[in-house]
Amino acid sequence: MTKPVLGVLASGRGSNLQSIIDAIEKGQINASIGVVITDKPEAKALERAAAAGILAVCVDRKKCASKEEFEEKLVETLRKHDVSLVILAGFMRILSPYFVRAFKDCIMNIHPSLLPAFGGAHAHRDVLAYGVKVSGCTIHFVDEGMDSGPIILQDTVPVLPDDTEDVLAARVLEKEHVLYPKAIELYTKGKLSVSGRHVTIQE
């Protein structure tokens, strides 16, 4: 496999982006980041990319007349920088089938729960409200549904009696920062194969 070019999409603080940058720098992931794209000009991910010397672009959703125009600009920017694997890292937009088809089987997402439980935008709140004893994070390929694509890796954390959303989120985030680079490493080594819902990892 030729060295993959990643395109990372983020909306906020970008700590997962940082874990991927760090993993590339230390040689764990044999890939480059062609472009980081945010949907908001204030996203801290832009600063993190710039600090690492990575091209960072804001495709401001508010300046696009429609979702279609926004996604066309995303696709155009990713293609312009020869991106072969799209990494959603805290990108808080639901992407349409148009986008998913444009990068078929080449989009990964991280979700802060053990999917298929607690999908959606408020995973930690929903986990605490439900009273489950274990939560975690999931890395999955993106299909045309929400949080529904084939699962690559998962890891767990305990949910403790006094947890608040923030405390639980921080515990899960530590796992995220290990798991996302691991999944990308496996992809770049050609060790992932997908058949229907099932992702097989070659050892």
- Residues 4, 34, 112, 149: which binds ligand GRF (CB under 6 A)? 112
- Residues 173, 175, 182, 185: which binds ligand GRF (CB under 6 A)? 173
Q: Which of residues 6-25 bind ligand GRF (CB under 6 A)?
A: 10, 12-16
**72 vs 155 by CB, closer to ligand GRF:** 155
Q: Which of residues 39-78 bind ligand GRF (CB under 6 A)?
A: none
Q: Which of 74, 69, 72, 34 is nearest to 58 (CA)?
A: 74
Using CB under 6 A as the binding rule, whether residue 110 contacts ligand GRF is answered as yes
Tell me which stretch binds ligand GRF (CB under 6 A): 69-77, 108-116, 141-149, 160-168.
108-116
In whole angstroms, the minimum distance from the beta carbon of 18 to ligand GRF comes to 8
Using CB under 6 A as the binding rule, whether residue 89 contacts ligand GRF is answered as yes
**73 vs 175 by CB, closer to ligand GRF:** 175
Q: Which residues bind ligand GRF (CB under 6 A)?
A: 10, 12-16, 89-90, 110-112, 173, 176
